[in-house]
Amino acid sequence: MSKSLSHVFLPVFGGTALVLAVAVAIANRNYGQSKIETLETRIGQVETHAAVAQENAQAEANRAAELELKVEEIQTAAAERIANGTNLTAPAPSHDGTYGLGRPALEEEIAAWDVDVLPDGRGLPVGSGDVWTGEEVFVDRCASCHGEFAEGADNWPVLAGGFDTLADEDPVKTVGSYWPHLSTAWDYISRSMPFGEAGTLTADETYAIVAYILYSNDLVDDDFVLNNENFADFKMYNMDGFVVDVRPETEYAEWREEPCMENCKTETAVTMRSVFLVETPPEGGSNSVMNGASADGLPTFTAEGPSFTPTAAPIPEEEATAAPAVQEIEEADQTIELFAAGEKVFKKCKSCHQVGDGAKDSTGPALNGVIGANAGSVEGFKYSKAMKAAAEAGLVWTEEEMAAFLTKPKEYMKGTRMSFAGLKKQDDIQALIIYLKTFGS
pLDDT, mean of residues 286-297: 52
The answer on 403 and 350 residing in a single domain is yes
Look at residues 233, 258, 293 and tell me which one is the last residue of a structural domain. Answer: 233
Model confidence at 370, in pLDDT bands (50, 70, 90)? confident
Among residues 215, 148, 154, the alpha carbon closest in space to that of 185 is found at 215
pLDDT digits (tens, 9 = 90+) for 3-52: 555 555 555 556 666 666 656 666 666 666 677 777 778 887 878 888 88
Pair 384, 368: CB distance under 8 Å: no
The answer on 130 and 229 residing in a single domain is yes
Residue 151 lies in a domain: yes
- Residue with the bigger pLDDT between 299 and 79: it is 79
- Residue with the bigger pLDDT between 20 and 167: it is 167
Round to whole Å and give the CA distance between 253 and 89: 13
Pair 213, 159: CB distance under 8 Å: yes
The answer on 220 and 149 residing in a single domain is yes
Share of the chain above pLDDT 90, in %: 28
Residue 198 lies in a domain: yes
Residue 15 lies in a domain: yes
Kindly report whether the global pTM for this prediction surpasses the value 0.75.
no
Residue 185 lies in a domain: yes
The answer on 169 and 124 residing in a single domain is yes
The answer on 196 and 291 residing in a single domain is no
Pairing of strands 225-227, 289-291: unpaired
Round to whole Å and give the CA distance between 350 and 409: 17
Q: Look at residue 313 and tell me whether its pLDDT is greater than 60.
A: no
The answer on 124 and 26 residing in a single domain is no
Q: Which domain holds residue 184?
A: 114-233
The answer on 147 and 72 residing in a single domain is no
pLDDT for res 436 = 85
- Give the H or E element holding residue 188: helix 182-192
Residue 299 lies in a domain: yes
Residue 356 lies in a domain: yes
The answer on 275 and 227 residing in a single domain is no
Residue 229 lies in a domain: yes
Residue 259 lies in a domain: no
Domain count across the chain? 4
The answer on 398 and 363 residing in a single domain is yes
Pair 175, 217: CB distance under 8 Å: yes
pLDDT, mean of residues 112-131: 92
